Every structure is written in C-alpha cells, then in structure tokens.
C-alpha cells in the first residue's frame, strides 16, 4: 500500500480519508455559519431598504398631490430620467397620465413590491381634475437589492476561500507532529523486524543441525520456538513492508501450499497434542505465493493457538472452497464483527498474539478477491471458509 503525497506529507489511505473528512466538516460548518449570518443580514438590510423606499415614495406622492391641488404644472414629474415614476388614475382606476413601467397596478394595497419595482398608491380624499389615485414607482429598489445579493454572495465566496486556506494550513500544522511520530514508529518497526530476522534465521539453522546429533525432544522445542518467533516476525514484517512488497502472480497448486503449512506447524501442534486432519484436492490458482502462504499460515496458527490440548483441526479443500475447522474457544456473534480489525483480540487474551493476524488475512482476501466467512460458537470452535475465484 503506497502512501499518497499530500502537501509534501506522505499520507496513507485512512489518514487521507480522515484529513478530507476534517476539511469537509470544517469548511462546510464555517460556510453554514457564514451563510446564516449573510441570510439574516440580507433580510435586515431588505427591511431597511423597504422603509427608505416607502419614505421616498410617500414624499414624492405628497409633492405631486400638492402640485395638483395648487394647479401647478406637473410635467416635471413625468420626465424619462426620473428614478421615481409617477402615474395618475381616475376613480375607475383608469390611467390618466403615466410613466410607470407597467399598467397592472394592485390598488388594494397601499404599498407593495412587484417583480421589478416597488409601488406606493396614494388615494386622494376627493378627486382633483378627475385624479383619484397617485401611483409612485421606485425602480431603483430592485437594483439595490440585486447589488446587495451580489455583495453577500461575493463576500461569502471570499470567506470560503479564506476558510479553506486556513483549514489547509491548520491541517498541515496538526499533521506534522503526528506524521513525525508515525515515521519514527515505522522506522522502529522496520529496524526491529530486520534485527529480529537475523537471530531467528540463525536459531532455525542451528536447531536443524543439532536435530541430527543431540536430544531430539529438546531440539523440537527449539524448532517450535523459532517457528513461533518467525511467524511473529513475518506478521510484523508484512505490516511494516507491505507498501514496498511487489506481488508476483504465478500458477501453483493450493493443496501443496496447505500441506507445506501443516508440515511447518507440526511441532507447534504436537506440543499441545493437536491432530491436524487434511483432505485436500488439487486446485491450481494464479496468485502471489507469499501472500497466500501468509494467509494460510495465519489461519492455521490461530487454529492451533486458540485450541485446547488433545483436540483436532480439520482442513478440507473441495473444488475452490478451503475450510479450516478447529475445536477451540469459539467466538461470540458480537465479537465476530471485530476480529478482522487490526489489534483486536477477542478470544482468551492469555493465548498471546498482537491481534494482527486476521487483519492480514482480510487484507490478502480483499486484494485477491477471495470470499471469506466465519462460523463459530462459543466453547465449540470456529470454521473459516475461503472461496477462491475460479478465474
């Protein structure tokens, strides 16, 4: 699994997903808060604009009424360049003279806002020269509202960019110490794995040599211990180096691999007087040998580890289905959902282990499209079933 390089920092898939989730929550919550502020500000300003508009239109209507009442010339109110448009109507609401942008006037309202303009209707107590209604139109209010909307959206856009940049630098600031500590831990694991591999290899070679010359039982214990250490090393090394591993797919017989694993764990199983029964048919698969070996070794190792003394482990390979059945501690329904997560150990914790074996198993199964399932009952044992793809 190769890390992504984000902002000069190497991130693995889960870390990258967590970072993106953090930025989405941070930016979206900030935008929601700013949007709420913008919404209330817009409506407050809208009420203020409406009040100012009403005052202006009432003032113009008063001037028009005064001019009509005094018999003054009203042509000055009908110039094309005026922002406030004037319309005069008789008692039947028929137009007498108008510069309004529309003739569809709602005389039931004193003031209202249409689609493009705001209107104020002044009804005279008594008609003057057949004029009963003075209608004032303010077309500037719509322009003012549109400018206000543009200002708010533009401000929100700039604020979003600013918040995103703050989130970006904040993320880098928070990630740096975490990544530094992670790199230290990663280097420690890799160095430890290298240091562990050398004595393990030497121990196994010495034990194999001594097996021919000295006490067989003592050497069997040495071999068993070295193989247990070797399996621990393999699991740690897989987690430490899996981003550097290069898988090489090739055709091989799965049954031979299973027999090889059984032989490898024979001494460990014998130490608990556990019998391993195997009924395997030939199955040729095209996968990475090392990965499949890790897969089988982890399942078989767990079966032995969590089985009591004097029990039996049954392994079968029929067509493309591999089953490993033990008579061990069993796993509860609730715990079965957790066992494939890294560092989760839900069985007897006195049995040892780091809780990484089944995490490796699940990773290999996903990478090779192998269906894995578990049937288990407490105090009766567990059965792992692997269905290999036929293609």
Residue-level pLDDT, tens digit, the chain, 391 residues:
444 444 454 555 666 677 777 778 888 888 888 888 888 888 888 788 778 888 888 888 888 888 888 888 888 888 877 778 888 998 888 988 888 888 888 888 888 777 778 888 988 888 888 888 999 888 777 777 788 888 888 888 888 888 888 877 777 777 777 777 777 667 666 666 666 666 677 667 766 666 666 656 656 666 666 666 766 666 666 665 554 455 688 999 999 989 988 988 887 888 889 999 999 999 999 998 888 988 898 899 888 888 889 999 999 999 999 999 998 888 877 777 666 654 444 444 444 443 456 777 888 888 889 998 888 888 888 899 999 998 7
C-alpha–C-alpha distance, residues 135 and 310, integer Å: 104
User: What burial class does residue 210 get, using C-beta atoms within 10 Å of its C-beta: 0-12 exposed, 13-18 middle, 19+ buried?
Assistant: middle
Confidence at residue 83, expressed as pLDDT on a 0 to 100 scale: 77
Confidence at residue 258, expressed as pLDDT on a 0 to 100 scale: 92
Is the distance from CB of 355 to CB of 343 less than 8 angstroms?
yes
For residue 338, the SS3 value is coil
Is the distance from CB of 9 to CB of 176 less than 8 angstroms?
yes
C-alpha–C-alpha distance, residues 162 and 323, integer Å: 57
Residues in contact with 142: Cβ distance below 8 Å, sequence separation at least 6, in sequence order: 116, 117, 118
Q: How many domains, in total, are found in the chain?
A: 1
In a domain, 239, yes or no: yes
In a domain, 30, yes or no: no
Give Rg (Cα) of the chain: 41
Confidence at residue 351, expressed as pLDDT on a 0 to 100 scale: 44
CATH number for the domain harbouring residue 284? 3.30.565.10
Residues in contact with 5: Cβ distance below 8 Å, sequence separation at least 6, in sequence order: 11
In a domain, 380, yes or no: yes
Q: Is the pTM of this model over 0.85?
A: no
In a domain, 329, yes or no: yes
In a domain, 286, yes or no: yes
Core vs surface per residue 34-47: b (16+ CB within 10 A) or e: beeebeeebeeebe
In a domain, 157, yes or no: no
Confidence at residue 386, expressed as pLDDT on a 0 to 100 scale: 94
In a domain, 134, yes or no: no
User: What burial class does residue 65 get, using C-beta atoms within 10 Å of its C-beta: 0-12 exposed, 13-18 middle, 19+ buried?
Assistant: middle
Range of the domain at 352: 211-387
For residue 109, the SS3 value is coil
In a domain, 346, yes or no: yes
Confidence at residue 347, expressed as pLDDT on a 0 to 100 scale: 47
Sign of CA dihedral 279, 281, 282, 283: negative
**Strands 131-138, 249-253: parallel, antiparallel or unpaired by DSSP?**
unpaired
Confidence at residue 356, expressed as pLDDT on a 0 to 100 scale: 55
Confidence at residue 52, expressed as pLDDT on a 0 to 100 scale: 83
Helix residue spans in 211-343 (DSSP H): 216-241, 254-264, 266-271, 289-305, 333-336
């Amino acid at each position: 699994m190769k890390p992504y390089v984000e902002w000069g920092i190497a991130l693995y898939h889960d870390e990258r997903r967590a970072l993106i989730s953090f930025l989405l929550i941070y930016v979206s919550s900030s935008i929601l808060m700013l949007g709420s502020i913008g919404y209330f500000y817009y409506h407050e300003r809208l009420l203020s604009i409406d009040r100012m508009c009403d005052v202006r239109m009432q003032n113009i209507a008063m001037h028009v009424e005064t001019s009509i009442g005094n018999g003054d010339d009203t042509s000055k109110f009908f110039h094309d360049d005026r922002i406030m448009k004037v319309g005069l109507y008789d008692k039947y609401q028929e137009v007498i003279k108008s510069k309004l942008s529309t003739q569809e006037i709602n005389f039931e309202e004193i003031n209202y806002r249409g689609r493009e303009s705001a209107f104020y209707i002044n009804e005279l107590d008594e008609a003057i020269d057949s004029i009963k209604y003075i209608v004032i139109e303010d077309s500037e209010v719509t322009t003012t509202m549109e400018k206000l909307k543009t200002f708010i959206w533009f401000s929100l856009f700039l604020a979003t960019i600013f918040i995103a940049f703050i989130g970006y630098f904040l993320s880098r600031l928070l990630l740096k110490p975490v990544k530094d500590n992670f790199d230290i831990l990663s280097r420690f694991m890799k160095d430890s794995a290298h240091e562990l591999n050398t004595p393990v290899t030497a121990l196994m070679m010495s034990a194999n040599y001594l097996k021919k010359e000295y006490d067989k039982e003592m050497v069997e214990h040495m071999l068993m211990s070295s193989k247990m250490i070797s399996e621990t090393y393999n699991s740690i090394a897989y987690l430490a180096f899996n981003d550097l591993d290069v898988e090489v797919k090739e055709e091989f017989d799965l049954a031979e691999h299973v027999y090889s694993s059984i032989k490898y764990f024979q001494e460990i199983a014998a130490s608990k007087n556990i019998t391993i029964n195997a009924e395997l048919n030939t199955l040729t698969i095209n996968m990475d040998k090392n990965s499949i070996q890790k897969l089988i070794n982890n399942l078989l190792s767990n079966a032995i580890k969590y089985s009591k003394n004097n029990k039996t482990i049954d392994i079968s390979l029929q067509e493309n289905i591999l089953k490993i059945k033990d008579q061990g501690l069993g796993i509860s329904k609730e715990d079965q959902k957790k066992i494939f997560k890294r560092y989760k150990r839900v069985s007897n914790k006195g049995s040892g282990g780091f809780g990484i074996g089944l995490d490796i198993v699940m990773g290999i199964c996903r990478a090779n499209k192998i269906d894995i399932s578990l049937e288990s009952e407490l105090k009766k044992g567990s059965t792992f079933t692997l269905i290999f793809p036929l293609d």
